Amino acid sequence: MKRTALLAGVLGVLLAPAPAAAFVFGQTTGATPLPMNGHLAGGYLLLSQDALGAVGQLRLSLYPEIDFGFQGGLVRNDVGDASRTSLRLGVDFKARVVAADESSPLDVSLGAALGVDTAEDFTSVAIGPLVVVSRDVALASGQTLTPYLSAGLLLSRFDVSDEDRNDVSVPVRLGADWAMNPGVRLVGEVQLNLGDAFRDDVGLLLGVNLPF
């Protein structure tokens, strides 16, 4: 009887519906920080199997080789058999530690991100370090394409109704930033949530960055 009860308890934990908060908090740009006193505004559509959202971003730089980002928006999450619209707020920073030159073909930045999703009977908090690697590629048209790869170590806590759960995962973002002209940059990325017990395995972000 004890073994049966223990097995039932383990299966209950493994099969319990998990909240879906499909997207990784962090930058939607390459590793190169904004120039000092520079600004960037962005708007993005978030898509996955169990979530749909719209998020805006404001980035700024107050110090050389460092920039900061603030995100906010609404995300519709499927949580078990119910759907909730959550308020998403996030903040991040990155600092470039390697600049692309003759000795290095890549820009490399280190940073961290903190994000919160909150709705009725639903709260998600995520925090962790990030590394971003990118390279600016000059196109024949005179435009610039910046492919980038980001990875992190995300620590998350989910409070859903009366259930509290923790998670550790390795989010990976693979994207590209296309500078159509100096004031408009289209961005798209695929987000992979490796080892994540709560979020969708794959998410997609599409949007625009507007430096000013």
Please check whether residue 49 is in contact with residue 18, taking contact to mean a CB–CB distance below 8 angstroms.
no
Burial label for 173, CB within 10 Å (0-12, 13-18, 19+), is buried
pLDDT-derived band of residue 207, with 50, 70 and 90 as boundaries? very high
Q: In this structure, which topology does domain 2-211 adopt according to CATH?
A: Lipocalin (2.40.128)
Binned at pLDDT 50, 70 and 90, residue 102 comes out as confident
How confident is the model at residue 200, as a pLDDT? 57
Q: From CA 206, how far away is CA 77, in angstroms rounded?
A: 18
pLDDT at 128 over 90: yes
> In 3-state terms, what secondary structure has residue 186?
strand
Q: Are 148 and 175 in contact (CB under 8 A)?
A: yes
Take residue 2 and report the two structure tokens written for it: 């004890």
User: Residue ranges of the domains in the chain?
Assistant: 2-211
Helix (H) or strand (E) holding 104: none
Task: Tell me if 186 sits within 8 A of 211, measured CB to CB.
Answer: no
Residues above pLDDT 90, as percent of the chain: 56
Q: Specify the pTM.
A: 0.82
Model pLDDT, residue 38: 96
Residue 204 confidence (pLDDT): 93
In this predicted model, what pLDDT tens digit does every residue of 15-27 receive, in sequence order? Answer: 333 444 445 567 8
CB-CB contact of 48 with 110 (8 Å): no
